[in-house]
Amino acid sequence: MIQTPYLLFLGDAPDALSGKVAQGIKDWRPENCVGQIRMEGCKADIGLADLTLEEAKARGAKTLVIGVANRGGKISQAWKKVLVAALEEGFDLASGLHNLLRDEKDLVAVAEATGQVLHDVRVPEVEYPIATGEKRRGKRVLAVGTDCSVGKMYTALALDAAMRDMGQKSTFRATGQTGILITGDGVPLDAVVADFMAGSIEWLTPDNDPDHWDIIEGQGSLFHVSFSGVSLALVHGGQPDALILCHEPTRSHMRGLPGYKLPSIEAVRDLSLQLAQVANPACRVVGVSINTQHMGEEEATRYCAEVEARLGLPTVDPFRHGAARLAEALVAL
Amino acid sequence: MIQTPYLLFLGDAPDALSGKVAQGIKDWRPENCVGQIRMEGCKADIGLADLTLEEAKARGAKTLVIGVANRGGKISQAWKKVLVAALEEGFDLASGLHNLLRDEKDLVAVAEATGQVLHDVRVPEVEYPIATGEKRRGKRVLAVGTDCSVGKMYTALALDAAMRDMGQKSTFRATGQTGILITGDGVPLDAVVADFMAGSIEWLTPDNDPDHWDIIEGQGSLFHVSFSGVSLALVHGGQPDALILCHEPTRSHMRGLPGYKLPSIEAVRDLSLQLAQVANPACRVVGVSINTQHMGEEEATRYCAEVEARLGLPTVDPFRHGAARLAEALVAL
């Protein structure tokens, strides 16, 4: 568990897009952010107060989160000046980078000397159990996709927010690096050892109040041959009561797999439901989330209406339309 | 890759069953075994010559393989006397135990001093790639099961032997500890990190001659909620041209999951084929392998005939009937 609130480190971000992790944290958990810290030449600005380490500390920040993709996959010496100073100022560090904090000897040495913690959210820090398949109390919904990177995390975060707006008990359950940094907790599923994948998701979504919903971030796709095993571990470990289908309609092929066409939303509905009902026979598909970022307003509205008519399920783009209709479908279940 | 031939270590095995890894190696790769080595009180005997380390070395043995399950999950001091002596005699060591050789400081020190290798086949030693899904040359068949431990490894080994008896080009591809020790090579799939599961199977079954068959050992079951993700990675990473369905008819519930009934063979056929055709639209189900160890001869024969009539597929227990009919079905494809 990463201590909040955060100071968001944007470093020398070459453009706005490279700061998207910081942007995500600010969008979804503004209450966790006291400000941003940027180096000379930084081209990203997520619209928070620019603070020094001292100022952020005075405002209560506990962890400096690396909210920027690094250049060349390396934690640079220029970054390290700030990271070392942050440790010395009493901050923990958190990062989702491939280049692990723990692999940098100087950072490790300073962290030990100052008693601060280095969080590499890409690396599991828990010994997860083997899944038991036992029925758990409380409700769970899982976002499943026709492909990778179609908006499953966004959908789950928007659904969680909509549920809480409606006064429902709801917790977003992160299964990837960005989600873990946003909420401070979760399972980096793609880095979990095969035998423990489903068990890690059972661990993430334990017994809860009967009217509480875990909103589980999906990963990959059952139809994506590189990562389908990860997706199935979510379906069986998550034991969902409800599924939300996620789709991006303009893709010409599966992400990273030029020879593979996307499955239809119906194919994902049928396969996901069949597999989910192995672990929870009561599971239902409750709605569809469409990522219409590459469509105009009119085309997006028409496409959602068409899918809604075809599948008989509430269909929205949570970014354009909000996720209230998906939340209502959950509550109605 | 473990160097052959082997000297099989049976230690102080408390009963015959605890020597089943050694038995498997002897049954399937007798040409890899120069003999067995047993300690005082050993209750297992796989029928090979009892040799001293010196005798085995003189007969060409290169690796001492731990072919016995250890008591209490620990490599005992009594065992270590033999293991250290083996290293000093110039043997490598190979083990599939949870208690890793590399976690024993004395073994590591002696291995370094003598220049011998410690193989823990439970731990991946390769940096596997992410799966690409690209079509590979050569043919592949995968054993899929209604449950864990229904005889997928046995089926694959028997099929590989039958194929070679018929003069076909065939390679058994191990995906678990025992299979790796039997053949000296393979992927310990249950210990691979999630993102690389399918890629590890692509790596294991690369391009080959057009008329060569990889016989891939299956793991888990698509219907077993603890391990289904591992099974799906095999289906998508293996890109099989053919599937063999494996079943044990006397189970009252899924292994380790008291609340879960076994799926029908038909359900496994339909789901496996649908998923396999994502990676290889030409995939076909070619046969059924029944583990009839808990049935009498007559009951076993009747059951196989009944399944054969119901599914219209050659159905055998490879242990009782051999795997020739499954091999013929493969060749006919």
B286 C-beta neighbours (distance < 10 Å), count: 22
Give the nearest partner residue to A225 out of B133, B222, B229, using CB atoms: B133
- Let me know the angle formed at the C-alpha of A75 by A73 and A81, rounded to the nearest 5 degrees: 160
Residues of A whose CB is below 8 A from B230: 194-195, 197, 229
Strands A118-120, B33-38: pairing kind: unpaired
Q: First CA to last CA across chain A, in angstroms?
A: 32
How far apart are alpha carbons A158 and A143 in whole angstroms?
Answer: 11
Nearest residue on chain A to B226, judged by CA atoms? A131
Gap from B79 CA to chain A (nearest CA, Å): 29
Q: Which two tokens stand for residue A221?
A: 């796709």
Chain A positions in Cβ-Cβ contact with residue B226 (cut-off 8 Å):
130-133, 195, 198-199, 236
b/e code A133-157 from CB counts within 10 Å (16+ = b): beebebbbbbbbbbbbbbbbbbbbb
For A323, other C-beta atoms within 10 Å of its C-beta total 29
Alpha-carbon distance of A263 to A253, in angstroms, equals 9
Name chain A contacts of B271, Cβ cutoff 8 Å: 274-275
**Rounded to a whole number, what is the distance in angstroms from the first to the last CA of chain B?**
32
Which of B195, B233, B236 is the closest to A191 by Cβ? B195
* Residue B300: alpha-carbon gap to chain centroid: 24
What is the distance between the alpha carbons of residues A100 and A8, in angstroms, rounded to a whole number? 18
Q: Which of B229, B260, B271 is closest, CB to CB, to A229?
A: B229
Amino acid (1-letter code) at residue A312:
G
The answer to whether the CB atoms of B193 and A189 lie below 8 A apart is: no
Instruction: Give the residue from chain B lying closest to A262, CA to CA.
Output: B278
Q: Which residues does chain A have within 8 Å of residue B257's beta carbon, measured at their own beta carbons?
A: 132-133
Residues from chain B that touch A199, judged by Cβ atoms under 8 A, are 226
Contact between chains at A133 and B232 (C-beta distance less than 8 A):
no
Query: CB contacts < 8 Å between A and B, how many?
Result: 129
Which chain A positions have a beta carbon within 8 Å of B274's beta carbon?
271
Residue in B225, B268, B274 to test binding to A, most A beta-carbons within 10 Å: B225
Q: Are B300 and B290 in contact (CB under 8 A)?
A: yes
Cβ–Cβ below 8 Å for A133 and B260:
yes
**Chain B positions with Cβ closer than 8 Å to A:** 130-135, 189-195, 197-199, 222-223, 225-233, 236-237, 239, 256-257, 259-260, 263, 271, 274-275, 278-279
pLDDT of residue A211: 97
Low-confidence stretches of chain A (pLDDT < 50) are none
The per-residue pLDDT for A74 is: 83
CB contact under 8 Å between A275 and B227, yes or no, is no
| Minimum distance, in Å, between the CA of residue A248 and any CA atom of chain B | 19
CA B247 – CA B292 distance, rounded (Å): 9
Residues 6+ apart with CB under 8 A from A200: A124, A126, A128, A187, A189, A192, A233, A237
Sequence-separated (6 or more) residues with CB below 8 Å from residue A59: A5, A34, A35, A51
Per DSSP (E only), the strands in B263-314 are: 284-290
Beta bridge mates, A241: none
Residues in chain A closer than 8 A to B259 (CB atoms): 133-135
Distance CA B215, CA B209 (A): 14
ipTM computed for the complex: 0.94
Residue A13 CA: distances (Å) to CA of A47, A56, B120: 14, 20, 43
Query: Is B227 in Cβ contact with A195 (below 8 Å)?
Result: yes
**Interchain CB distance below 8 Å, A199 and B135:** no
Interface touch A198/B226, C-beta < 8 Å: yes
Q: Are B222 and B231 within 8 A, CB to CB?
A: yes
> Which residues of A fall within a CB distance of 8 Å from B231?
229, 232
Cβ-contact A31, A3 below 8 angstroms: no
Nearest CB partner across the interface for B194, out of A223, A229, A278: A229
Which residues of chain A are within 8 Å of residue B256 when distances are taken between CB atoms?
130, 132
Give the chain A residue nearest B237 (alpha carbons): A225
Can you tell me the distance from the alpha carbon of A232 to that of B279, in angstroms, rounded to the nearest whole number?
16
CB contact under 8 A, B229 and A198: yes
Q: Walk along chain B (333 residues) and give the pLDDT tens digit of each residue.
A: 899 999 999 999 999 989 999 999 999 999 999 999 999 999 999 999 999 999 999 999 999 999 998 777 789 999 999 999 999 999 999 999 989 999 999 999 999 999 999 999 999 989 999 999 999 999 999 999 999 999 999 999 999 999 999 999 999 999 999 999 999 999 999 999 999 999 999 999 999 999 999 999 999 999 999 999 999 999 999 999 999 999 999 999 999 999 999 999 999 999 999 999 999 999 999 999 999 999 999 999 999 999 999 999 999 999 999 999 999 999 999
Judging contacts by C-beta atoms under 8 Å, the chain A residues touching residue B190 are 193-195
pLDDT digits (tens, 9 = 90+) for B152-195: 999 999 999 999 999 999 999 999 999 999 999 999 999 999 99
8 Å CB contact of B229 and A232? yes
pLDDT value for B72: 72
Contact criterion met (CB below 8 Å) for A69 and A53: no
What is the structure's pLDDT at B62?
A: 98
Grouping H, G, I as helix, E, B as strand and the rest as coil, residue A66 is strand
Residue B254: closest CA among chain A residues belongs to which residue?
A: A133
8 Å CB contact between A196 and B228: no
Q: What is the pLDDT of residue B15?
A: 92
